[in-house]
Structure 1
Amino acid sequence: MPATETFRIPKHRHHVSTARHRLRKALADWGVAGEQADLVTLLANELVTNAVTHCRVSHAQVRVILALHGTELLLEVSDPDRDRLPRLHDSAPDEEGGRGLALVAALADSWGCRQERYTKCVWARWETSVPPVP
């Protein structure tokens, strides 16, 4: 059975740190540490920040799911702005933002997005050397 951490945060920038801390704790509880935990936390920060920044639905909640299935970590971040799927683009050197998905694409083993009935979900996967949680 996979280990899973699921929660929702309000769509406000100051709640991004709450998501980071909850995910970091779950990773530690599962024995994922060091560079692997840093990587997952960094990319979770990017995906959650994108969700709270770009979702146009007022008073929305962002759902975060982190799961460890065997040696695979899966992160899913969903928001109710289902018709605005994220896309990679080249950021100019003087732009302050716009590199989050490029980081996810470069550092995750795989990533993507999908439309669900009422939400969109952006996900990323990584292989880890951590043994399965009993």
Structure 2
Amino acid sequence: MPATETFRVPKHRRHVSAVRQHLGKALADWGVTEELTDVVVLLASELVTNAVLHCRTSYAQVGVTLTLDGTELTLEISDPDRDRLPRLHDSAPDEEGGRGLALVAALSEDWGCRQDPYTKCVWARFTLTGRRGAAPTTP
């Protein structure tokens, strides 16, 4: 049975650091390597920041789901702005932002987005090559 960590945070920039801390702890508890943990936490930070900045729904919450199933790790970030799917684009060298999805594409095994009944979800998938310690326990 896969190990899953799911939670929501209010759509505000100040909660991005809480997402990083929460995911870092979950990944450490599951024995994921520090290198992969750093990548997943970075990409989660980028995706949650995108949701915070671009979701047009007031008082929304951003959903975060991390699932470890065997050697496959999946990160999912969702928000209620269902009709605005993100798209990858080239950023000019002098642009301050716009590179989050490029990082996701470069650092994950696979990524994409989907429209669920009430939300959109951006996901990234990773393959574990090695883990510290024992297999994760599921509650």
Partner residue, 1:97: 97
Question: Structure 1: how far apart are the matches of 2:48 and 2:7?
Answer: 12
Structure 1: 5+ residue runs without aligned partners? Answer: none
Question: Structure 1: how far apart are the matches of 2:42 and 2:21?
Answer: 11
**Matched-pair contact (CA < 8 Å) for 2:29–2:136:** no
Partner residue, 1:11: 11
- Does structure 1 residue 133 correspond to structure 2 residue 132? no
Partner residue, 1:37: 37
Q: Deviations over 1:52-110 (max 9, x none)?
A: 11100000000000010001110000000000000000100000000000000011000
Structure 2: 5+ residue runs without aligned partners? Answer: none
**Matched-pair contact (CA < 8 Å) for 1:71–1:132:** no
SS of alignment partner, residue 41 of structure 1: helix
Partner residue, 2:57: 57
Alignment RMSD: 1.0
Question: Structure 2: how far apart are the matches of 1:92 and 1:115?
Answer: 29
Equivalences, count: 134
The alpha-carbon deviation at position 17 of structure 1 amounts to 0.5
Question: Structure 1: how far apart are the matches of 2:11 and 2:91?
Answer: 24
Question: Structure 2: how far apart are the matches of 1:17 and 1:101?
Answer: 19
The TM-score with structure 2 as length reference comes to 0.93
Question: Structure 2: how far apart are the matches of 1:126 and 1:9?
Answer: 23
Question: Structure 2: how far apart are the matches of 1:34 and 1:75?
Answer: 16
The residue type equivalent to 1:106 in the other structure is A
Matches within 5 A, 1:70-109: 70-109=70-109
- Does structure 1 residue 47 correspond to structure 2 residue 47? yes
Partner residue, 1:121: 121
The TM-score with structure 1 as length reference comes to 0.97
Question: Structure 1: how far apart are the matches of 2:77 and 2:135?
Answer: 23
SS of alignment partner, residue 68 of structure 1: strand
Question: Structure 1: how far apart are the matches of 2:135 and 2:54?
Answer: 35
The residue type equivalent to 2:3 in the other structure is A
